């Protein structure tokens, strides 16, 4: 089973719903980036999705911390639905995707049998 951590400061459950439908084990944080950082170390997910359309600076700061920690530096990070200005700020931290790409990414991972992205 693929373990996924979602950081989503919006009031929507759309990302977690898609991942659950894809039989992923999902943990999420929707209030505090610092708490997300700690929980990611404990959970050690196969990948992280960050809703980048809501509070992008919070998601970006958490991603920076994830990438700096030796234990979590290899975890792929996907930033979802950021504006071009915000996307320009994450170069080298992760991959920017659109919301409607999540399902395809998960299907591809299940087909290939491993995580298909790490920048």
The C-alpha atoms of residue 39 and residue 72 are separated, in whole angstroms, by 11
Tell me whether residue 11 is exposed, middle or buried, using C-beta atoms within 10 angstroms of its C-beta: 0 to 12, 13 to 18, 19 or more.
exposed
pLDDT band, very low/low/confident/very high, at 11 (cuts 50, 70, 90): confident
Taking the CA atoms of 77, 101, 54 and 25 in sequence, report the sign of the dihedral they define. Answer: negative
CA 70 to centroid of chain Cα atoms: 18
Q: What percent of the chain has pLDDT over 90?
A: 85
Write down the pTM of the prediction. 0.92
Q: Which domains does the chain have, with CATH numbers?
A: 3-112 (3.40.50.2300)
What's the half-sphere exposure (Cβ side, CA atoms, 13 Å) at 2? 29
pLDDT of residue 109: 86
Residue 3 phi, psi (nearest 5): -95, 125
């Amino acid at each position: 089973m693929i373990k996924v951590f979602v950081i989503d400061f919006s009031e929507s459950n759309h990302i977690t719903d898609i991942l659950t439908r894809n039989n992923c084990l999902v943990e999420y944080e929707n209030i505090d980036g610092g708490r997300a950082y700690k929980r990611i170390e404990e959970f050690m997910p196969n990948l992280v999705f960050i809703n980048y359309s809501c509070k992008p600076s919070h998601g970006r700061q958490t991603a920076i911390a994830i990438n700096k920690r030796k234990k979590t530096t290899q975890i792929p990070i996907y930033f979802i639905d950021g504006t071009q200005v915000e996307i320009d700020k994450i170069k080298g931290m992760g991959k920017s995707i659109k919301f409607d790409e999540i399902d395809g990414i998960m299907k591809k991972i299940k087909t290939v049998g491993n995580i298909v992205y790490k920048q």
